[in-house]
Amino acid sequence: MKMENKTKMTWDTFLDKVYGCWIGKCVSGTIGAPYEGYKGLMSIKYDPILIKDMLPNDDLDLQILWLEVLEKKGTAFTTEDLADIFAEKCPYSPGEYAIFKKNYALGIMPPLSGKYNNNYYLQGMGCPIRSEIWACIAPGDPQLAADCSEKDGIMDHWGESVFAERHMAAMEAMAFTWEGDMKTLVLDSLAYIPDDCRYQKLVRDTVKWCDEYKDWRTVYGMIMRCYGHSDCTNMFQNMGITIMSLLLGNNDMLDTTMMALNCGFDTDCTCATVGSVIGILAGGKALMDQYKFEEQSYKLSVNTTRRSDKVYDLAEDTAKAALLFTELNQNLVITDVPEEMYITPSDVTVKTINAQVIYENDYPVISLDETKKVIIKISAFDAPVSGKLIVTAPDGFTVDPAVCEFDATNEEKEYIFTVHLDKNVDVLWEKNIFNVAVVVSDQEVQKLRFGLAGAQLWTVYGPFWENVTEVAAPGAGESYYAGLGGAKTAEESLTKLRQFHINMKAKWEQDYMEDILLGDKTLDDEQKRDPAYVGFPVSIYEDKFSLEDIFAFNAPCVTYMVRDVYAPEDMTLCIQVGHSDKIRIWINGQLFTESETTENWTPENIHKLDVPLKKGANHFVVKLARTNGKSDTSIIFTEKGACTTMINCLGSTNNLK
């Protein structure tokens, strides 16, 4: 769009709105932070003591890292640039952050870094809370803001959460020039996400309920009924709370913030987000005057520094970065900019080619004797260029072709590589990095890398099952019905018979394999004929697995799984166990943990700290029950417990040898 057709906004007005955005983020985020994770209604009233001391918040932390990238890269920033600084400078790893960091370390880059092995936090709140920076660099241009935000969201999320971040980025970008009502702002900004996604339905349902009931307590109940989730950080209920608070808060920042707070769940996120939206609409000066805030500062818990801890300086730095995107902004031009506010990106690396790695079926994992296709999509960064791609594989892997000639132009081309893993490797490591040298005129001009996660190698024994009533096998001419006796009424008798006919049970107390797997007992001749006792090898491709994925037996049962976890050195680590049914785990012959309860599976049903593993093979035996319809299990290794980095240096001893 030509400059004369764009909306004009003075530098002072723009800067004030960015200032309002960050004031709202910091003040409202601090109000919500102490109550993060409380699931239930509260009745807290605003008191200035709630913002006496600003608290660090990942909602702001990561956006300051993104600002650092923008200052260095300008409009040339990529998702990979964001991923690099995320992995390098963010020291904490809750939920989806830990998933991203592990995938990144395994060479699994965005967008699959947010999808692969992310079974619980795929639709987390972690990326919708990072939308403000993208709105601030694209004021008035919701398409640009949403597209930039997607480069962020796909690092550690997939699908619906990314749509939520796109929506918030678009809404906040529109807020810079908005003169209408909040409801229209919320609805119009939905144009930048898919019409048929569940998040779109959440927003429209919330708008409808706010119109119908006009009572936040009732709307909250409807959100929980239709979109509630056990995880306090799940995006759906939290974004419902956010949208509801914006619609019913009468554009008053503190009233809106307290409404979001008193709904509980991810309160630092919901509060900070509503504060940002209203802050952009109102501007920083208006907020400072209306609420008599003192000069605002912020605290960081990521490993970076800024020129000061003043929110105003952060706003000015953000506004400077926005000037780098002036030519990309289709709707707004900033006028009357002081000359000293213009900056030049400090680290725009000139690449030879743009490259993207695509995995067969979008599944970046491999097991013994398997072959996977990996596609590298290439286009020229600037001028056409020809050269070679030279792939170096880890031990045990072969790549065909190992050397591939390429011709890169403005049009993207695909180069297909076939990767095979030898079935005779001693250890299948979880981390397997492939390095790709980009060679032009016999000179290496660029380096690429990709990874294939190694599957977990287990041996499975079972299923072991019993009848609900254990009746001895009848002989010739005998009836087994006598074994079903003892009922006192006709109803009891009928129940007992039908339970015997159409149900089974998992006899947890029965030691089917303990003496064999943990002791020195060998299979007898009858057991050798029974596949349940002989066992079979299984490759598990993600941390979470279900018995339903392992065999098609559809009934209650007991199952044993054995894996030799190989450690490269003596280690002390932590283990998170997720389970939905009874579980017992032994490590190197010693009982490690057990639970005889049924649970809603999460990755963190059980935490065990300071667990020693010896160098070499560590023998894991897991006993599982399926007493109901499904049995989900996961075993995750971390450095120091919850919200810390996941271990990626372990492997499985080959169970086919």
- For domain 3-340, give the CATH superfamily: ADP-ribosylation/Crystallin J1 (1.10.4080.10)
User: What is the structure's pLDDT at 124?
Assistant: 97
User: What is the structure's pLDDT at 3?
Assistant: 65
User: What is the structure's pLDDT at 483?
Assistant: 86
The answer to whether 425 and 652 have CB atoms below 8 angstroms apart is no
Which pLDDT tens digit goes with each residue over 359-377? Answer: 999 999 999 999 999 999 9
User: What is the structure's pLDDT at 5?
Assistant: 81
What is the dotted CATH code of the domain comprising 457-464+506-653? 2.60.120
The architecture (CATH level 2) of 353-453 comes to Sandwich (2.60)
Other Cβ atoms less than 10 A from the Cβ of 385: the count is: 18
CA-CA distance, 148 to 237, in Å (whole number)?
A: 25
User: What is the structure's pLDDT at 4?
Assistant: 67
Reduce the DSSP state of residue 119 to 3 states and report it.
coil
The answer to whether the 353-453 and 457-464+506-653 domains have the same CATH topology is no
Other Cβ atoms less than 10 A from the Cβ of 581: the count is: 24
Where the chain has pLDDT below 50, the residues are: none
Domain locations along the chain: 3-340, 353-453, 457-464+506-653, 466-473+480-504
C-alpha distance from residue 534 to each of 301, 455, 460 (Å): 52, 22, 9
The answer to whether 391 and 436 have CB atoms below 8 angstroms apart is yes
The answer to whether 334 and 326 have CB atoms below 8 angstroms apart is yes
User: What is the structure's pLDDT at 353?
Assistant: 87
